Amino acid sequence: MARPEQVLLLEPQHELKFRGPFTDVVTATLKLTNPTDRNVCFKVKTTAPRRYCVRPNSGIIDAGTSINVSVMLQPFDYDPNEKSKHKFMVQSMLAPYDMTDMEGVWKEAKPEELMDSKLRCAFEMPLENDKTHDSEIIKTVSSSASVKTEHSVLPKSASASLDDGEVKKIMEECKRLQMEVQRLREENKQIREDDGLRKRKVTPVATAHSSSTMATTAVRDEGLSTRVLAFCVLFFVIGVIIGKLAL
C-alpha cells in the first residue's frame, strides 16, 4: 500500500544548501509548516548523523503553525571535486487525539500512516568577489573594535604585568600619602585655631589702645582750651594796663 502524501510544507522543498568556508559550523534552516487542522508529529533523519547536528530533530507541530529546524554542518576539509551524497528525510504522521507518549506513537505507527519527504545536501563555496567583500567587512569591524578597545586593553596589559612586589609598594605609597594628607589636615586645623585665638587677644588690646588714644585726645583738647583762656586773660590785662596809662 502506497504511503500518503506529505502534509507538511517544506522550505526549501528539495535541497539544503550549506555555504562555506567549512572551517567552522555552517547552519542551514529548514522550515516546516502544518497547514492542516490536525497536530502533526515529525522526525528529521540523515544519512550522515555524525556530520550534522539537528535542533529540534523531532516534535509536534500544532495545526496551522510552523517551526524552524536548524541543521548544523560540522567543520570538515572541503574538496570541490567531491559531490555531497548526504541526504535528509522529514518523516511525519498525524498525531492521535489521545496521544500521551510520542515515542510510543512512533513505535506503534503503521507504515501506511507515515509520510516522508527527502532532501539532498549541496555545498557551496563563496565567490572570489564575495570573499574579498567579506574580508573587507571583517577588517573594518576588526579595526573599529581595536580602536575602541585600545585604551581599555593597554591598562589591562599594564596591570597584568605588575608583580606582587610592585603592587605592595603601590599600596604602601597610597597609605603614606593618606597619612600625609591627614597630618596636613590636622596642621591646618591647628593653624585656624591659633589664628582665632590671636584675633581674640588682639581685640581687647585694640580696644584699650583706642580708649587711650581718645583720652590723650581729650587731654590735648583740654590743654589747648586752657591756653586759649590764658591768652584771652593776658590780652585783657594788657588792655586794662594800656587804658590806665593813657588816662
Domain containing residue 92: CATH number: 2.60.40.10
Range of the domain at 80: 7-122
- Nearest CA among 64, 70, 6 for reference residue 34: 64
- What DSSP state is assigned to residue 112? G
- HSE value, Cβ hemisphere, 13 Å, CA-based, for 158: 6
Number of domains in the chain: 1
- Nearest CA among 97, 118, 104 for reference residue 40: 97
Q: How far apart are CA 18 and CA 22, in angstroms?
A: 9
Which pLDDT tens digit goes with each residue over 141-151? 455 555 444 44
Amino acid at 66: S
The x, y and z cell numbers of residue 237, run together, are 590785662
The CA–CA distances, whole Å, from 123 to 18, 21, 84, 130, 150 equal 5, 10, 7, 16, 39
Q: How far apart are CA 18 and CA 166, in angstroms?
A: 54
User: Does residue 79 sit within a domain?
Assistant: yes
Q: How far apart are CA 26 and CA 135, in angstroms?
A: 18
Residue 125, pLDDT > 90, answer: no
User: Does residue 214 sit within a domain?
Assistant: no
pLDDT at 154: 43
User: Does residue 135 sit within a domain?
Assistant: no
User: Does residue 21 sit within a domain?
Assistant: yes
Peptide bond into 75 cis (omega under 30): no
Which pLDDT tens digit goes with each residue over 73-119? 999 999 888 888 999 999 999 999 988 888 999 999 999 999 999 99
User: Does residue 215 sit within a domain?
Assistant: no
CA angle at residue 49 from 47 to 54, to 5 degrees? 110
Q: How far apart are CA 49 and CA 43, in angstroms?
A: 13
pLDDT grade for 137, boundaries at 50, 70 and 90: low
User: Does residue 24 sit within a domain?
Assistant: yes
Calculate what percentage of the chain has a pLDDT beyond 90: 43
User: Does residue 177 sit within a domain?
Assistant: no
pLDDT at 81: 84
- HSE value, Cβ hemisphere, 13 Å, CA-based, for 134: 9
User: Does residue 145 sit within a domain?
Assistant: no
How many CB atoms within 10 Å of residue 98? Answer: 5
pTM for the model? 0.52
Which pLDDT tens digit goes with each residue over 191-229? 877 777 666 665 555 555 555 556 555 545 555 555 656
Q: How far apart are CA 90 and CA 163, in angstroms?
A: 60
Ranges of beta strands (E only) in 95-233 are 115-124
3-class secondary structure, 241:
helix
Residue 185, pLDDT > 90, answer: no
Instruction: Tell which phi-psi region holds residue 69, choosing left (phi > 0), alpha (psi between -120 and 50) or beta.
Output: beta
Calculate what percentage of the chain has a pLDDT beyond 70: 62
